[in-house]
Amino acid sequence: MNLSLLLLVPLFTAIVVLLSKNDKQARTLSLAGASVQFVLTLILLVQFWKLRASGNFSPMVFEYDSTWFESWRIHYHVGVDGISVAMILLTAFVVLSGILVSWTPVKWNKEFFFLLLLMSVGAYGFFISLDLFTLFFFLEISVIPKFLLIGIWGSGKKEYSAMKLALMLMGGSALVFVGLLGLYYHTQTPEGYPSFDLLQIAEMHIPRNAQLLFFPFTFIGFGVFTALFPFHTWVPDGHSSAPTAASMFLAGISMKLGGYGCLRVATYLMPDAARAYAPIIIALATIAIIYGAFATMMQKDLKYINAYSSVSHCGFILLGIGMLTRTSITGAVMQMVSHGLMTALFFAAIGMIYSRAHTRTISHLGGLLKIMPFISTVFVIAGLCSLGLPGFSGFVAEITVFMGSWQNPSGWYRIATILACASIVVTAVYILGAVGQTIMGPIRNSHFQSLADATWNEKLAAIILISGIVAMGVAPFWINELLRPGSELIMQHIERAITIK
């Protein structure tokens, strides 16, 4: 399969949408383009499985390499493994559901859909890039649309939130760029040139001192995107002010760029430093999990609840990466996919409620199950997935992280695992509390009696996301088999580095 189609389809769609005649045509074209993306990713999954079944166990498949900027050895080099395919699938699910949720026209409707589609170009490009400069290029493409989506179409303190998000993510990008340049200048190909090529760098042994110096730049830089404590403060403000589709993209896709970068770039390319800094990573991840859970308990706004809970749940991603076992790394990627689907569903449900009730404050809501049964059911499913109920993706992902973390024999690491497990109790408290007060009990506002339930597009968006959540929760073997070879390759690289040392 030609992976460039994953870039060309949304880019072409975005341009056509910008040139469309009216709002109806813009949203129809956006939906058509998102649907094509969705079908392409399913075709990619099937073809990937066929290649593996035929005995092709290359680290990356569907590779394409073309020189982009010769003097700096920058290439348009793309390819995928199981981890990349999983993240591409997640992107397609969230993009399609985000377009569907945004069916109601807003001001500058064409520009709104254009920016949503442009964000998807950045995400796809990031997940398929095997050249570090190209990877950074697509990371930057995904930042600016977020700023505009929040600043123009957001609510509340939207200008402040947009500026804070942009500055913090650009700061993270700057750290990533320093780390990537450090890697570049400490590599040397057989021809005697430095390289940005991820696969070439993986075959080299970067000096330990260089790894120790540049690992924090790359890991912290990418960590800013995935709510690494204490660089998480943009998350609540950004999510709470963003329009519904932008919140879904931010939490469902953009925060996963950071986790993917921490794993694919920092950990994979600098294994000595990953081992050395593992205790710090695990400590920060554990703090994020506990702090995020307790901070969520204090929130009264539904969007803030989902935002702070994202800080906690993204801590599981970093915990799995920091533990450096095969199972924990597989669990970390599972958590990326699960959290992306779950939090997109949560924000979609919250957006549906807010568009009708015009409030997200829990104390102002109540009894919505009697008025909006479908939306309330979606809200409950998202909550149950968040607290890790068996049968949903959240349980599969979190238990895999816990099992992988416990495999690490260190006493301190096992204490961190126990603390992370204990956060589930706190999660249950705030999720059940929010669900109970929002949709159960008496109807607190008589004006809510006339509110309508979900429209066809909202129902379809929810069903798409729920299908992904249930597919992981009920039959997790397929995604485990998809991710396992990539996780084993990363661990083999880490173990080989220890042997060489």
HSE (side-chain half, CA atoms, 13 Å) at 26: 25
Query: What's the confidence (pLDDT) of residue 277?
Result: 92
Whether pLDDT at 501 is above 60: no
Alpha carbons 197 and 256: distance in angstroms, whole number: 22
Whether pLDDT at 346 is above 70: yes
Whether pLDDT at 126 is above 90: yes
> What is 260-310 written as a DSSP string?
HHIIIIIIHH-HHHHHHHHHHHHHHHHHHHHHHHHHHHT--BHHHHHHHHH
Query: What's the confidence (pLDDT) of residue 498?
Result: 56
The answer to whether the CB of 461 falls within 8 A of the CB of 348 is: yes
Query: What's the confidence (pLDDT) of residue 83?
Result: 92
CA–centroid distance for 334 within its chain: 11
The answer to whether the CB of 247 falls within 8 A of the CB of 354 is: no
Straight-line distance from the first to the last Cα atom of the chain, in angstroms, rounded to the nearest whole number: 39
Write out the two tokens for 339.
Answer: 């959290």
pLDDT bin (cut points 50, 70, 90) of residue 105 is: low
pLDDT bin (cut points 50, 70, 90) of residue 34 is: very high
Can you name the residues that pair with 77 across neighbouring β-strands? 65
pLDDT bin (cut points 50, 70, 90) of residue 489 is: confident
Query: What's the confidence (pLDDT) of residue 261?
Result: 93
Give me the mean pLDDT over the 83-102 stretch: 92
HSE (side-chain half, CA atoms, 13 Å) at 322: 27
Q: Which residue in this structure is represented by tokens 């929010």?
A: 434
Give me the mean pLDDT over the 125-138 stretch: 93
Distances from the Cα of 73 to the Cα of 64, 129, 132, 184, angstroms: 15, 15, 11, 10
Can you name the residues that pair with 61 across neighbouring β-strands? 80
pLDDT bin (cut points 50, 70, 90) of residue 229 is: confident
Within 8 A by CB and 6+ apart from 305, the residues are 296, 299, 430, 434
Query: What's the confidence (pLDDT) of residue 265?
Result: 92
Alpha carbons 456 and 451: distance in angstroms, whole number: 16
The boundaries of the domain holding residue 459 are 5-500
In this structure, which amino acid lies at residue 127?
Answer: F
Whether pLDDT at 397 is above 80: yes
Alpha carbons 133 and 74: distance in angstroms, whole number: 7
Phi, psi of 155 (to 5 degrees): -135, 170
Whether pLDDT at 412 is above 80: yes
Distances from the Cα of 370 to the Cα of 121, 266, 276, 357, angstroms: 40, 49, 55, 14
Query: What's the confidence (pLDDT) of residue 443?
Result: 81
Whether pLDDT at 495 is above 80: no
What percent of the chain stands above pLDDT 70?
A: 99
Query: What's the confidence (pLDDT) of residue 497?
Result: 62
Query: What's the confidence (pLDDT) of residue 156?
Result: 76
HSE (side-chain half, CA atoms, 13 Å) at 72: 12
Within 8 A by CB and 6+ apart from 230, the residues are none
Find, among 262, 10, 259, the residue nearest to 125 by Cα.
Answer: 10
- Residue with the bigger pLDDT between 260 and 72: it is 260
Query: What's the confidence (pLDDT) of residue 132?
Result: 92
Query: What's the confidence (pLDDT) of residue 67?
Result: 86
Give me the mean pLDDT over the 197-219 stretch: 89
Give me the mean pLDDT over the 216-239 stretch: 89
Length of the chain: 501
Give me the mean pLDDT over the 431-456 stretch: 83
pLDDT in tens, 143-184: 888 888 888 887 778 888 888 888 889 899 999 999 999 998
Alpha carbons 176 and 139: distance in angstroms, whole number: 10
Whether pLDDT at 284 is above 60: yes
The answer to whether the CB of 170 falls within 8 A of the CB of 141 is: no
Q: What is the pTM of this model?
A: 0.92
The answer to whether the CB of 82 falls within 8 A of the CB of 484 is: yes
Give me the mean pLDDT over the 341-370 stretch: 87
Within 8 A by CB and 6+ apart from 299, the residues are 305, 308, 430
Report angle CA 233, 236, 238 to the nearest 5 degrees: 95
DSSP class of residue 89 equals: H
pLDDT in tens, 399-410: 999 998 888 887
In this structure, which amino acid lies at residue 237?
Answer: D
Find, among 478, 473, 469, 476, the residue nearest to 93 by Cα.
Answer: 469
> What is 95-134 written as a DSSP string?
HHHHHHHT-S--TTHHHHHHHHHHHHHHHHHHHHB-BHHH
The mean predicted confidence, pLDDT, of the chain is: 88
Least confident of 43-52, 118-127, 174-183, 298-307: 298-307
Within 8 A by CB and 6+ apart from 163, the residues are 147, 151
Over the Cα atoms of the chain, what is R_g?
Answer: 22
Whether pLDDT at 46 is above 90: yes
Q: How many domains is the chain built from?
A: 1
The answer to whether the CB of 297 falls within 8 A of the CB of 429 is: yes
Phi, psi of 400 (to 5 degrees): -65, -40
